Amino acid sequence: MRKNIVAGNWKMNNGLIQTKTLITELKQQKQTSDAEVMIAPSFTNLWHAFEETRQYPIEVVAQNMHFSDDGAYTGEISAGMLKSIGISTVILGHSERRTYYNETDEALAKKVDTALSQEIRVIFCFGEELADRKSGKHESIVENQIKKGLFHLKADAFKDVILAYEPVWAIGTGETASPEQAQDMHAFIRKTLANKYGQEVANSVSILYGGSVKPNNAKEIFSKTDVDGGLIGGAALNAEDFYAIVNAF
């Protein structure tokens, strides 16, 4: 069955010193929920974070990777490089990467294939913009992103795929989707999966919500049937806030 997961996406925050401090603080927090906990520091701090959390129930994951195994791609990081330092999960398709670095559905489908072929789990992100929601196109936009990024996969591959619905208008804005909006979309996502792969696969995939999840709203959002956790930005940079969210289950 699907798991509850809370993943902290640190984005482009925290140098080595801040990373050390935050990890020390994270290790001091008490976990009272059964959620899988993940943190995604920047590439330069992955190794340190991995080493420091070895004995703790915190998985260190990457924020991105390239679709090629190696070669002349200056500034890029491959799946093999991530694996070589013990990383076994990667976030792909975050809206900031889609928007600022023109990551297309096609490129993301290739990244998904590369990650899975190297036995790296994927947290696949998608979500609509405000204009899409206002014009009632949010479901078709999300359906399209999922189909183009993932529907070439065989059913069996979904054991290594986690979905993250992040409405762009809720990211870093302080405005969250209401728990009902999140539930409606998550149920729609699960139905989309079920239509293609069957109910068993759909029920086995964790679907996270991301977008201004904070200690004061996490409980209500996570209480919804089809919400299996969160992808947390700003609140993941503070150890107490992050664990208040982890423990909101």
Pick from 60, 59, 77: nearest CA to 68: 77
Among the listed ranges 14-22, 78-86, 112-120, 165-173, the one in contact with ligand 13P (CB under 6 A) is: 165-173
CB 204 within 8 A of CB 2: yes
Q: Which is nearer to ligand 13P, 49 or 171 (CB)?
A: 171
Q: Which is nearer to ligand 13P, 41 or 234 (CB)?
A: 234
**94 belongs to the catalytic site:** yes
Q: How far apart are CA 160 and CA 119, in angstroms?
A: 8
Q: Does 234 bind ligand 13P (CB under 6 A)?
A: yes
* Residue position matching structure tokens 């993932």: 150
Q: Does 185 bind ligand 13P (CB under 6 A)?
A: no
**Number of residues engaging ligand 13P in binding (CB under 6 A):** 14
203-222 residues in contact with ligand 13P (CB under 6 A) are 210-213
* Token pair listed for 129: 């913009």
Among the listed ranges 50-58, 138-146, 154-162, 164-172, the one in contact with ligand 13P (CB under 6 A) is: 164-172
Backbone CA torsion sign across 77, 83, 86, 89: positive
Q: Which is nearer to ligand 13P, 94 or 190 (CB)?
A: 94
**166 belongs to the catalytic site:** yes
Catalytic residue (choose from 94, 96, 103, 128): 94
Q: Which is nearer to ligand 13P, 94 or 133 (CB)?
A: 94
Q: Which DSSP string do the residues of 177-220 spell out, in sequence order? A: PPHHHHHHHHHHHHHHHHHHH-HHHHHHS-EEEESS--TTTHHH
Q: Which residues are catalytic?
A: 94, 166
